Structure 1
Amino acid sequence: MIWLVLVLGGLALVVAAPYLHEALKPHMDDKARRSAPGKFAELSRGCTHYRWLGATRGPVAVCVHGLTTPSFVWNGLAPGLGALGFRVLVYDLYGRGYSDRPSGPQDSAFFVTQLEELLEDQGVDGDITLLGYSMGGAIATAFAALFPERLRQLVLIAPAGLGHDLGPLAERVTHGGRLGRWMMQAFFARSFRKSTEAERDLPSSVEGIVDLQQGELHYRGFVPAVMASINGMVSEDLREEHHDIAQSRVAVLAIWGGQDSIIPISSMGDLAQINRAARQEVIEDAGHGLTYTHSAAVIHAMRDLMCD
């Protein structure tokens, strides 16, 4: 009988360990935010970290980052956008960077509301150029479909919403129920470190990009936020939203990485069938990190934004 108690106790410890590890991580609080650049807005679901970059005057470009990369992912592109004449607003999605980590589903309504409230807080009421990278591309697509009159143009960089391959762990999270959630909590950090380390020797316009990404694992709520977004925003099929955008005649530029293993290049063809007016560019030797590994090429693909 004693051995059975020990076995069951050991199993309980194994099951609980990932959740205990998460609970012992520090909060993203005022102390953690002391070194943060930029400012903070108190929105309905919590504190949102934001920065204004680029030109001091001019049309506004709003940048929405991806699943695991906070707003620092735009550090390499913001100067180029500024050179094009844009005032650039970047911010951290809930669950990432210096923003709060509210619990609950993270679907399109969740993220679109955050963006809508931030624009109101910052007094941005004219038409904007909206840029979205990876999952941020899906958020930008959802926003554009709802508020086409607020957009001057939409720029999608390796956007989610038309298909993706985040790997077997994400697939397990989406379809594995409680076991999938446990596996995510137990193994995501190791998987994330391995995938980011693979980019350490790549050129990057964002200094210390690998260490910055891995630093997200230090704070409580990041892994649950990624898990909630995989089950929510990342899993949404946005073909109908792209149809709505096409009908609204919002100008669309989509930029793809020719070597992207996460967002398949076949999504380019899907978008072309839905929105024949969309302009599309491929950076042939770029992977999914094209915003920071191929910043100059991405800016070059945007060269006509101020001419339209």
Structure 2
Amino acid sequence: MTLLTDSLIVDGVRLAHRDRGRGEPLIFIHGTPSHSYEWRDVVPHIEEAGFRVITYDLLGYGLSERPVNRDTSVAAQTDLLGHLLDALGIGHVGIVAHDIGGAIGQRFALAHPGRVRRLMIIDSVSYDSWPSSTWRKIIDEHPDAFTGMSQDAFDALLTRQLKMTVADETLMAGDVLQAYLAPHRSPMGRLSFFEHQVRHYDSKYTEEIGDRLGHLTMPVRIVWGEEDRWQPLHYAKRLADAIPHAELVVVPAGGHFLTEDAPERVVHEIGDFFGAPPR
């Protein structure tokens, strides 16, 4: 399924995006190693529920531009989110954010609390939770930024990691697995994966805001897969303790990519948290 349908220039770079509906605006921010494909079984249902839904690929990811010499860190992506909302004429927005998208959501909500109506973070990186131990090992073993690897070796490495994102590994196979691998199926794709994603796996972007999470005043719901192998459940509980009045929802038999293990549950949680918009 091709979820994204359009592109627009934001702060001098091209972002692939999808903007559907006329109701209360919600924006979906994906994680890594991923792109907006992860929302394919969620976003159409939220659009049908009457929201205006914006879905986009982060800069350097998926179908968006992969620029040379442009910062694509969590901090830079947070700034770009503000520019994207401005370009779309959106003042206030609800945020649904996964993995490093959750870090972007946290940072944006702290920097612009008046612009965020509600915040949902799903299996988010936080504090010192990332990169995971397996990613740390990969980074240490590949200082050449994967450029010396064959495509087969790279695919095998990334496949092993992607299998860890789901509680039911049979879900990360076939066409689904191929869709996650697709953006990296070239020498440029492999280099881009390092430069725009792995290079910025750095917990400083969440550690530096850890002691300010108590300043969040908007409603926050934290949704977490009980069997997340990358972001253990105790980080979800730590976030819930730190953010005033935050709700924690733990999904049994769910892994890090809840949109693969339990898309119907993710749809339910979004609808319940953001409420049905007026028709």
Give the C-alpha shift of residue 164 in structure 1. Answer: 3.4
Tell me the residue number matched to 2:234.
Answer: 266
> Measured at CA, do residues 138 and 112 of structure 1 come closer, stay the same or move farther in structure 2, by a change above 3 Å?
same
Q: Which amino acid aligns with 1:107?
A: S
Cα distance per residue 1:214-252 (max 9 Å; x no partner): 111124544344434334354335255355343241111
- The whole-number CA distance in structure 2 between the counterparts of 1:83 and 1:300 is 13
Tell me the residue number matched to 1:20.
Answer: none
Q: Which amino acid aligns with 2:13?
A: G
Tell me the residue number matched to 1:24.
Answer: none
> Measured at CA, do residues 87 and 46 of structure 1 come closer, stay the same or move farther in structure 2, by a change above 3 Å?
same
Residue 242 of structure 1 contacts residue 275 of structure 1 at CA under 8 Å; is this kept in 2? no
> Measured at CA, do residues 132 and 72 of structure 1 come closer, stay the same or move farther in structure 2, by a change above 3 Å?
same
Does residue 99 of the first structure (1) align with residue 64 of the second (2)?
A: yes
Of 67, 75, 92, which residue of structure 2 is paired with 1:109?
75
> Measured at CA, do residues 264 and 165 of structure 1 come closer, stay the same or move farther in structure 2, by a change above 3 Å?
farther
**What SS is found at the alignment partner of 1:164?**
coil
> Measured at CA, do residues 264 and 223 of structure 1 come closer, stay the same or move farther in structure 2, by a change above 3 Å?
farther
Residue 123 of structure 2 contacts residue 236 of structure 2 at CA under 8 Å; is this kept in 1? no
Q: Which amino acid aligns with 1:244?
A: R
RMSD: 2.8
Of 267, 273, 277, which residue of structure 2 is paired with 1:304?
273
> Percent of aligned pairs with the same residue?
21
Residue 165 of structure 1 contacts residue 263 of structure 1 at CA under 8 Å; is this kept in 2? no
Q: Which amino acid aligns with 1:286?
A: G
**What SS is found at the alignment partner of 1:97?**
coil
Aligned length: 265
Q: Which amino acid aligns with 1:255?
A: V
Tell me the residue number matched to 2:5.
Answer: 38
Residue 137 of structure 1 contacts residue 157 of structure 1 at CA under 8 Å; is this kept in 2? yes
Tell me the residue number matched to 1:279.
Answer: 247
Residue 95 of structure 2 contacts residue 105 of structure 2 at CA under 8 Å; is this kept in 1? yes
- The whole-number CA distance in structure 2 between the counterparts of 1:182 and 1:45 is 29
- The whole-number CA distance in structure 2 between the counterparts of 1:300 and 1:225 is 35
Residue 144 of structure 1 contacts residue 245 of structure 1 at CA under 8 Å; is this kept in 2? no
Give the C-alpha shift of residue 84 in structure 1. Answer: 4.0
Residue 161 of structure 1 contacts residue 235 of structure 1 at CA under 8 Å; is this kept in 2? yes
Give the C-alpha shift of residue 37 in structure 1. Answer: 4.4
- The whole-number CA distance in structure 1 between the counterparts of 2:12 and 2:142 is 26
Unaligned runs of 5+ in 1: 1-34
- The whole-number CA distance in structure 2 between the counterparts of 1:167 and 1:221 is 26
Tell me the residue number matched to 1:148.
Answer: 113
- The whole-number CA distance in structure 2 between the counterparts of 1:237 and 1:90 is 23
Does residue 217 of the first structure (1) align with residue 184 of the second (2)?
A: yes
Tell me the residue number matched to 1:68.
Answer: 33
- 1:88-237 aligned at under 5 Å gives the runs 88-104=53-69, 105-125=71-91, 127-162=92-127, 163-164=129-130, 166-173=132-139, 176=140, 180-182=142-144, 184-185=146-147, 186=149, 188-196=154-162, 201-202=170-171, 208-219=175-186, 221-228=188-195, 229-232=197-200, 234-237=202-205
Looking at CA atoms only, which structure, 1 or 2, has the larger radius of gyration? 1
Give the C-alpha shift of residue 117 in structure 1. Answer: 1.6
Q: Which amino acid aligns with 2:160?
A: K
